Structure 1
Amino acid sequence: MTKKVKPNLAVAVAKMQEPTASVLASKVHPNGAASPRVEIKQILIRVSAEAHKQLKFMAVDEGTELRTLMIEAMNDLFIKRGKPPIA
């Protein structure tokens, strides 16, 4: 007969505070170079169906992902506003 181990609250709380793989991810820049692990945040925006379709077609035409195009656009905006391109 095996002995049942009682759950330890301290262990459970410590596990909850550990970063998960979805929070810490290896960031890859559009040029394909990997950078050190950074915290990743999600941004959700709504765009017209026409803008979404155009972006998807651009991504397919360039053989890339929509996400890569958006990162490029964000970095271009940072540069335009005098900020470093860190996206």
Structure 2
Amino acid sequence: MSIDTDTAARVAKLARIKVDPAELPSLASEFNAILGFIEQLSELDVSDVEPMTSVTPQRLQARVDEVTDGNQQSKVLSNAPDAREGFFAVPKVVE
């Protein structure tokens, strides 16, 4: 795939980047270089490469999911300017 100056101008417009018309040929050339690099990457055989989440092998530590600081509803609601029925009360903003 080759990018011409018209396509480079359209990409710049879509990206909302102001590009001087004199610089469009060099922008198109840069796009073509990027696409060439992507084509080189697609030639690699990665069928034997396992997917990974990090460059170093590691396991994420799991912790027990338990409430450690609960049952403080009245303490939390004491800071509210208006609390009703155990909840923060806020003014209605949508009619």
Superposition TM-score, scaled by structure 1 size: 0.27
Give the helix-richer structure, 1 or 2.
Answer: 1
Kindly indicate whether structure 1 or structure 2 has the higher relative contact order, using CA contacts under 8 Å at least 6 residues apart.
2
Q: Which structure has the larger Rg?
A: 2
